[in-house]
Amino acid sequence: MTAPPNLAADRHGLAASQELLTVPQVMARLKLGRSAVYDLLRTRQLGSITLGRSRRIPALALTDFIRTRLEQEAA
């Protein structure tokens, strides 16, 4: 039985929606500086988890953040 395309595991064994991004990766994707990304995390506009001393942003949280901002801009 084959998993649906959106749940197919990538080369690291995680589904794309479960990918965890680092702050520098989010900075690059949003074209924002470090302080701006940490402000989004601090104000909980962008969801994240902490693993030890490292902050990770689920790819799904980034997608949700972008979708929310697009909806706010359209309103």
Q: CA 65 to CA 21: how far, in whole Å?
A: 14
Model confidence, pTM: 0.76
Domain around 45: 19-74
2 in any annotated domain: no
Average pLDDT over residues 9-29: 80
pLDDT value at residue 12: 57
CB 43 within 8 A of CB 35: no
Q: How many Cα atoms occupy the beta-carbon half-sphere of 54 within 13 Å? A: 9
12 in any annotated domain: no
CA dihedral 64, 70, 73, 74 (to 10 degrees): -120
27 in any annotated domain: yes
Total domains, the chain: 1
pLDDT category at 29 given cuts 50, 70, 90 is: very high
Cα→Cα distances 42→4, 20, 48, Å: 35, 18, 10
